[in-house]
Amino acid sequence: MAGDELTAAVPAFAGTPCENALLRLFATDAAPVEAHHPAWGGHVRQVSRSSLFRVPAEAGEAPLVAMLGLEGDGERAARAALAAQRREVEELRHTHARHARWLEALALLAATMQDEPEPGAAIAGGLDVIVRQTQALDAGLATHSAGRLVLGRSHRGMFGGTPVTVAAHPQLARTLRDGDAVWMDDTACAAFGVPQNLGACAVAVVVAAERLGVLVLVTDTSDPLDGEVRRLLRAVSAAMGFALLRDRLVAELRHAAGVV
């Protein structure tokens, strides 16, 4: 009898809508259909769903019908959960790599500060380390003086040159007040001369409660400033602040000694 082989192999198929659909497809040119059937292959669930359709065959050959298993709600949920976990792992890898670069930058900054005794050299070397280690496109140290942030020229010359009035940019004023880091808005970026379509992060440079300026980093991405990143940024800006204070002290001592 037609269908005996199927029911012999999988007895649970006998009398099911899936068996009836298969027999109809073998015997006629019926349209494809979806049907539930007993699960096989070690699945935990008891019932599966498949798409049934007739496969074209050469004249005179026996008809051939295919069953294409369709995902159930459980499979879709598991696949979505797996995709979410993979995204989370990738984000963790990205965050770890970023933190590792910043930690290495701190170590190199410390070495640079010790090896560059001349005024200005330590800051220039520090900016070079920051750009290379953090994958920033450019960086600059704007000093705070008389309510303005003054940056002659950034490390790679991409921005700078015009003093920025702090009071005109509440975002920068809050950053200096709180000793924090922030992604600057378009207005603040334009004030510093940051090229359009690029982002810039401003990190307050504060040492011993003295607001010395801001470290400006230009990037083509805007990664979230989570707690760990903020701590690393503050550590980097503090290192630049000590270099700035050292340069200021050396200049004052040389001036007092009449050395040009």
In this predicted model, what pLDDT tens digit does every residue of 76-87 receive, in sequence order?
A: 666 677 777 778
> Where exactly are the structural domains of the chain?
4-70, 79-256
pLDDT of residue 193: 93
pTM above the 0.75 mark? no
pLDDT of residue 1: 46
How many Å is the maximal CA-CA distance in the chain?
114
**Can you give the pLDDT at residue 71?**
65
DSSP string of 60-89?
TSPPEEEEEEE--HHHHHHHHHHHHHHHHH
d(CA 247, CA 107): 20
Mean predicted lDDT score pLDDT of the chain: 80
Choices 3.30.450.80, 3.30.450.40, 3.40.50.300, 3.90.1150.10: CATH for 79-256: 3.30.450.40
Q: For residues 202 and 182, give the distance between their C-alpha atoms in angstroms, rounded to a whole number.
A: 5
Give residue-wise pLDDT tens across range 110-122. 776 666 666 567 7
**What confidence category does residue 75 fall into, taking pLDDT thresholds of 50, 70 and 90?**
low
* pLDDT computed for residue 63 by the predictor: 80
Averaged pLDDT for residues 239-254: 77
Contacts of 46 (CB under 8 A, 6+ apart): 38, 39
CA 213 to chain centre: 28
